Amino acid sequence: LWEKFAVPENDDKESFQSSFVRHVTSTLARSVYNIDNFSAYQATAHTVRDRLIKRWNDTQQAHAEVGPKRVYYLSLEFLLGRSLDNALLNLGLKESYGEGVEDLGFRMEDVLDQEVDAALGNGGLGRLAACYMDSLATLDYPAWGYGLRYTYGIFQQRLNDGFQVEFPDYWLNFDNPWELPRLDVVIDIYFGGSVSKYTDNNGRVRAIWEGGEPIQAVAYDVPIPGYGTKNCINIRLWSSKPKRKFDLKHFNEGQYEKAVQAQMEAENITAVLYPNDNHMVGKELRLKQQYFWVAASLADIVRRFKKSEKPISDFPKQVAIQLNDTHPTLAIVELQRILVDVEGLEWDDAWDIVTDTFAFTNHTILPEAMEKWPVPVLTYLLPRHMQIIFDINLFFLQSVEKKYPDDRDLLARLSIIEESSPQFVRMAHLAIVGSHRVNGVAELHSNLIKTTIFKDFVKFFGQEKFQNKTNGITPRRWLHQANPKLSDLITEKLGNKDWLKDLFKLKQLEKYVDDPDFKKRWVAVKGSNKARLADYIKKQTGISVNSNALFDIQVKRIHEYKRQFMNILSVIHRYNLLKKMTPKQRKETVPRVVIFGGKAAPGYYIAKLVIKLINSVADVVNKDLSIEDTLKVVFIPDYNVSVAEIIVPASDISQHISTAGTEASGTSNMKFVLNGGLILGTVDGANIEIHEEIGDENIFMFGNLADKVEDLRHAHRYRNKQMDPALKAVLDDIESGHFGDPRIFVPLINTLTIGKDYYLLSDDFGSYLRAQDMVDEAYKDKDEWAKKSILCTARMGKFSSDRAIKEYAESIWNVEPIPVEEVR
């Protein structure tokens, strides 16, 4: 009987249109004679959603039948961006549905443009999680993501007089077709309360934690379809909700505010994504978010494991949990608590299960980003967990003491507890001790963590525990979707789309680097992408830019270590040179459009001044007719994933110029190069490995190396009269008031002087300018540049997130793909 009513999956245009109309009339309750682009988007999205749900169910059913080991990716951030175009492409429906939409009188581009980004992340870490989910789905791994369903994503950025202003990102204003509310999957989460001891039947003393008022975690599932497979995995996002609607006692006394206060606090837990990137702010609500998320996820994972009826000792054979940075580290403590207090295991048996289950990825070595929480706060929010942390630390330090007797300094350095007053819990230490593998995100970064912040842990645990997993990006979103023209050209040349599942196949493009016709078409695609970006810039900022100019782009979070300040200082230098030139000299220079984008954390004063300086420089330069359009400066507001999809395909040069040793990996560098843009960069993060792959001739590298940074910081070049004269001239220019009231920029300039130039702009400025000159020189030879551009794309195979995910699966998780056949 079921078979008889099953709806067949038809991919054709007519099936799409009939579903579209059904959704317009039934789901949206609108008349087909009166639909705008937004309704067309919603009806299309709901049609795709139906297909996703089918695949999601088939996938879960297939996995349940096999009972494989599953991998769980715990991330406080999933920066997914838009879903409709991605789902259409991954499901292979873009063409038929596209025709269907256009037939009904809409432009597909306008329809796609109605979608708001799911911006549940800050930057690199959150977007990496999204790329990894795409690869896990595409490679048929039985995987789940776990995160929080924030009511507000990363703030929207607007500019007011060149200053950043933040606006709330209320992304759930209209319905969200990309989530499936699971109102029946609800888990009670407790905070506070008390711990009591009792003696069990075997005469052992055990602890039991009874928390205070429960808060409900409600599941919302986000299906993630793989490309060219039926596999469709799940990201489960938790939303917080009060268990009781209001406090009856206060209500009956007429104290209405008090009656709903606890309830409002419960809803607040998942209200907002913290907008800090690479900077720890010790807010209690953030800690509550972390525990709420981790406790709900583990309860869900344990429940699913128990359905298998396997013995608890099999847990690590069925479950691998990856910790995306230290944010979910309390999961280690929560699992130990469940195993010891609830399941009644012995401490050591439980601890073996815990450490075999978890692995930890570190994403930064910046000291200010290291998470630590005050012991008194943990004690009152999570009393039993705090006891368990002390016990984990005790047993750990005992084992250290045994191996290295009488080294008290070593014990203090390794301790999970920082012995200050108050004491703090060092989350990275807890994550290392509770995991069987720890990894960095690029070769240099993985080596640096082993020799600096985690050095003592390497000495104690040995090298094998510490690995490298160089980051990757999904070529589906970052080439096929963002750059359809280049994707088509590549597919035509290679004869098929296999490269989208095996990015090393791009190597075959090398055959054509000297084929004039191919080069011409390659350059034409870049040109049309630059024209598209020029249109976008005009619409957003009113600035006209010449798309024949060299497009020089730096888009990423605004942070001192990323040195956008150095970039804009070099722009001032360029501007001053241009002004001094004769018209004839100016004619011979390469015109440039310097494009910036990125958000500053709302409390990061210096980063906000960098944005203001960029806009002040832009105001002066863009108005100056005397330089004859040889330079334009643009700050694109509200940089996010969907804006990146327009920007990335349009670069000639992109800048990745962090102080050596500070950028763990970077992933936008990979996106730009994959799209045939060259890099101007420092010897840092993944730039190094990109250089290795694409070769010297195709990248512009400059600056001091990581192993020099420590000494340079002590050399005080910033104030001993040796400051690069070009740099000094530029600072003088700002101070003269050339770019508006110079008093505004005093704190910013001070970072280079009394602030001791921690990020070494003074030391790198000279080689930066020389590298810039080499870029100009190289760009003059259009033919050579085209060749470089092609070789860049052709040699990027390594940086697919598919490669990264296979490495995680094979050498950390020990999980296998499960092909999903269609289940009717």
Contact residues: ligand 26V, CB under 6 A:
122-125, 128, 274, 276-281, 325, 363-364, 369, 371, 441, 471, 663-667, 685
CA dist 149 → 83, 222, 268, 271 (Å): 16, 10, 12, 8
Phi, psi values for residue 188, rounded to 5°? -80, 130
Is 124 or 177 the residue whose CB approaches ligand 26V more closely? 124
182 - beta bridge partners? 219
Helical (H) or strand (E) element with 441: none
CA distance 293 to 304: 17
Q: Do 15 and 50 touch, CB atoms closer than 8 A?
A: no
Report the SS3 class of residue 701.
Answer: strand
Q: How far apart are the first and last CA of the chain?
A: 12
- Cβ 237 vs Cβ 222: under 8 Å: yes
Closest to ligand 26V by CB, 331 vs 338, is: 331
Q: How far is the CB of 626 from ligand 26V (least distance, A)?
A: 40
Q: Which is nearer to ligand 26V, 285 or 394 (CB)?
A: 285
Two structure tokens written together for 542: 């009113």
Alpha-carbon distance values, 69 to 132, 229, 394 (Å): 18, 20, 32
Which DSSP category does 630 fall into?
S
DSSP string, 337-381: HIIIIIS---HHHHHHHHHHHEEEE-----GGG--EEEHHHHHHH
C-alpha–C-alpha distance, residues 638 and 644, integer Å: 10
- Minimum CB separation from ligand 26V for residue 234, in Å? 22
SS3 177: coil
d(CA 282, CA 276): 11
For ligand 26V, the closer CB: 128 or 636: 128
- Output phi, psi for 552, to 5 deg: -115, 115
Extract the tokens encoding 183. 């109102």
Q: Give dist(CA 540, CA 529) in Å, integer.
A: 17
- Closest contact distance (angstroms) between CB of 684 and ligand 26V is 9
Q: Which is nearer to ligand 26V, 77 or 733 (CB)?
A: 77
Return the SS3 of 221.
Answer: strand
Phi and psi at 425, nearest 5°, equal -95, 125
Please identify, using beta-carbon distances, which residue of 140 and 663 lies nearer to ligand 26V.
663
Nearest partner of 60 among 390, 307, 428, judged by Cα? 307
Residues serving a catalytic function are: 363, 556-557, 562, 667, 671
Task: Work out how close the CB of 371 gets to ligand 26V at its nearest, in angstroms, rounded to a whole number.
Answer: 6
Residue 31 CA, chain-centre distance (Å), reads 40
Of 683 and 726, CB closest to ligand 26V: 683
- The DSSP secondary-structure symbol of 676 reads T
Strands 205-210 and 194-199: antiparallel
Angle between the N-to-C axes of helices 37-66 and 94-103, in degrees from 0 to 180, rounded to the nearest 10: 150
- In one letter, which amino acid is 438? V
Contact 215, 80 (CB under 8 A): no
Q: Which is nearer to ligand 26V, 164 or 276 (CB)?
A: 276
Q: Least distance to ligand 26V from the beta carbon of 691, Å? A: 16
Minimum separation from the CB atom of position 128 to ligand 26V (A) = 4
Left (φ > 0), alpha (ψ -120 to 50) or beta: where does 399 sit?
A: alpha
Output 79 or 627, the one with its CB closest to ligand 26V.
79
Tokens of 8: 């067949």
Tokens 């960095």 locate to 440
Cβ closest to ligand 26V, residue 63 vs residue 557: 557
